[in-house]
Structure 1
Amino acid sequence: MDIKALFSHHLSQLQIIVEKTPESLFEQALCADMLNLAMHAKIAANFAIRGYAPLVGIEPVLVETDSNDKAAVLAHIEQVVGWLEQAPDKEQLSAQRAHTERLGFATAELAEPQFIHQLVLPNLLFHMAMVYAIARSHEVPLSKGDFDGLHSYPAGFSFVEP
């Protein structure tokens, strides 16, 4: 499995969602006690570094962006994409190598396959889904294809009658 290509694919889809989202929504959150769209997008992108760097023996240095406007979020994602492109290739995950990660108030030690499949990818996709959900809750015309890059529906298509 090409982990770098997998992360690059998800970052590309995140860029598409962010590009389609109006500037006015970047400070919006699903509820008052949740992060806003901009923070979810930046955290999703940084999970590519947070997950890939330990696999190739690099200390993860996350991209920091002070602003939450659309241009800053897109620049943030681009920086992560650039970092990933320059990172060494990782041929395969090793069940014999474990990575310790702080998870909120917990700590977990996970072998590389579990580290990627149970921690990194779910978190990247969770934060990406929050970006999608916030945008959709404000009627941004996004589709499942924008999220996964695979599905295709005609403009205006809906499974639910409004």
Structure 2
Amino acid sequence: MLPNELFIHPLRQLALLLQKIQQHDIDLLDAVLTDEQFPLWQQAQTAIGFSLRACCALCEKEVPTFTKPMPVWLDLQQQIQLSLDYLTLLTAKDFDGWQQKPIATTAGFAELELAGEQFVYLYALPNFYFHYSMVYAIARAQQVPLSKADFDGWHQYPAGFSFLR
């Protein structure tokens, strides 16, 4: 599986998750889990950005910018769609030798140099899923009725199911 393919399904799922969150009664774009963390909109943008940041580094391409400052729901959906459009155009040739390619990046204030495979599996994917999970966690903390199926798109549960009953 090529690195871009690792992000396509979860990005589509993030789009569906954001639609479901938007349908809730209150605007949650600025909601946070704690005052020290990014708001929902920035968690979403950061997750989306990691998909591009990872794939572009491995393809030696400049990372396109699809973000808008202080986005509304539609902006986030457009950012996801533009990112998906970009990622689906990348080919196996673009990723030639990606596993061994040295990738220089930063993690907070740390400077890292990782082989491409380490970069994808130990850095980019965990960071993508961290920020994606924060979107889900913020929404759940705000009482948006979401399930694991909303997060991963695979799980199925009957209506009204709870692990606590």
**TM-score, normalized by length of structure 1?**
0.91
**Residue segments in structure 1 that go unaligned for 5+ positions in a row:** none
Matched, 1:105 2:109: yes
Q: Which residue in the other structure is 1:67 paired with?
A: 70
Percent of residue pairs bearing the same amino acid type = 35
What's the CA shift string for 1:47-97, capped at 9, x where partnerless?
Answer: 110000111121223322123321111111112112112233356664432
Q: Which residue in the other structure is 2:60 paired with?
A: 57
Q: Which residue in the other structure is 1:19 paired with?
A: 19
What RMSD, in angstroms, separates the aligned Cα atoms of the two structures?
1.7
What's the CA shift string for 1:6-65, capped at 9, x where partnerless?
Answer: 210110111111010036011100011111001101110111100001111212233221
Amino acid of the structure 2 residue aligned with 1:120: A
Q: Which residue in the other structure is 1:7 paired with?
A: 7
**Residue segments in structure 2 that go unaligned for 5+ positions in a row:** none
| Compared CA separation, residues 93 and 117, structure 1 to 2 (3 A) | farther
| Compared CA separation, residues 32 and 47, structure 1 to 2 (3 A) | same
**TM-score, normalized by length of structure 2?**
0.89
Distance 2:10 2:67 in 1: 19
Amino acid of the structure 2 residue aligned with 1:153: Y
Matches within 5 A, 1:131-142: 131-142=135-146
How far apart are residue 156 of structure 1 and its match? 2.4
Distance 1:130 1:154 in 2: 25
- Please tell me whether the aligned partners of residues 50 and 62 of structure 1 are also in contact (alpha carbons under 8 angstroms): no
Secondary structure at the aligned position of 2:144 is classed as coil
Distance 2:143 2:46 in 1: 23
Q: Which shifted more, 36-45 or 88-97?
A: 88-97
- Please tell me whether the aligned partners of residues 98 and 109 of structure 1 are also in contact (alpha carbons under 8 angstroms): yes
Q: Which residue in the other structure is 1:120 paired with?
A: 124
How far apart are residue 132 of structure 1 and its match? 0.2
